Amino acid sequence: MQVDMIRHEVETTYDKVKSLAGWSVTKNVVLTITSYYVTATEEFNAVNFSRAMASLKERAGWFSPLRGHLLPMMAAFMTQSANSMDEEADLLFVKQRALKQAGFRNSIHSYLAALLMSDDPKMFEEEAERAKKLYDAMKKQHFFLTSEDDYAYSMLLGKKGEDPELHARAMRVYYDALRKEGFRAGNELQWLSQVMTYTDITFHSRLVKRAAEVFKMLGDDLKVKPIHYPMIGFLTVFDVGDQKISEVISITNELERSKQFKWNREMALSLACGIMLHHLTESANQVGVSMATSFEMVLQAQQAVMAVTVASVAISSATSSSDV
């Protein structure tokens, strides 16, 4: 991969998104939207993006969690659909209502989870209930850590159809094992433990060792933070080799040279990981990425990681500002 071309694409897409998203949108959100288009090699379509934002605004009440600086991010994720933006917005709200009926709270995280649902209305209730059962089982394993920012992972992993109690228990086993390898306790480690069950809920100690190896490889050259734990998980479960990890480091270093990442360097590594995973899924025979259920699910997983991360940061920042 030509890292200079990747950097150019990021800078170009960033400027286009920023011009349409509005002055009130935080830089982290603009970078996440940019990451979505660059990672999925989707060309930014200004018309569709604007229509998606307008459709969401028309349907969101004044006190809706969609209002504010996170709305452009949701609009970007909607543009991947072949439906009209009005149809896609209507579908999103129907999905979110199904999640609310299943017991999920009305928050930005429930809308993120709704994005990961299928488009078959006959499946909405079943998918919502599966996600809620897994979420409740996760809550039993980690009562204080499990919160709204786990909604998207509950949906993504709940669609696997595993026994929720066994699945949640596997996450806890991974959490404890990863903690012993030096990963910092907290929400990010819980996300990593969830990702480790993406392809198989059976505990494998070798995956724990490999995650630690990937963490060290990245940490030797880059500043790796807990926020990167989920991406380390995907690099691990998709068996990404050392050579490709080195490429991730090269891409990250190139992106960090861009002014867009001057105060957001942690986003550079997340984007580099996403680009690598997308590249490998296009030639799945290379490194065992064929373990993934489908190319689309891998992309959805990446989007969920980025969206949940940014939503958590944005919401906490807004809360802190309001308390001042």
First to last CA, the chain: 46
Q: HSE of 206 in the Cβ direction (CA atoms, 13 Å)?
A: 3
Whole-angstrom CA distances from 84 to 17, 51, 75, 91, 307 are 20, 9, 12, 11, 22
Report whether 64 contacts 70 (CB < 8 A).
Answer: no
What is the pLDDT confidence band of residue 321, given thresholds at 50, 70 and 90? very low
206-223 residue pLDDT tens: 999 999 999 999 999 999
Quick one: pLDDT at residue 296? 59
Once rounded to an integer, what is the mean pLDDT over residues 152-179? 96
Cβ proximity of 157 and 194 under 8 Å? yes
Mean pLDDT of 125-139: 98
pTM, two decimal places: 0.90
- pLDDT of res. 134: 98
d(CA 107, CA 224): 29
Per-residue pLDDT of 42-59, as tens digits, reads: 788 899 999 999 999 999
Question: What's the confidence (pLDDT) of residue 206?
Answer: 97
HSE-CB at 297 with a 13 A cutoff on CA atoms is 19
Percent of the chain with pLDDT over 70: 86
Return the pLDDT at 153: 92
- Does position 144 have pLDDT exceeding 50, yes or no? yes
Q: Tell me if 255 sits within 8 A of 272, measured CB to CB.
A: yes
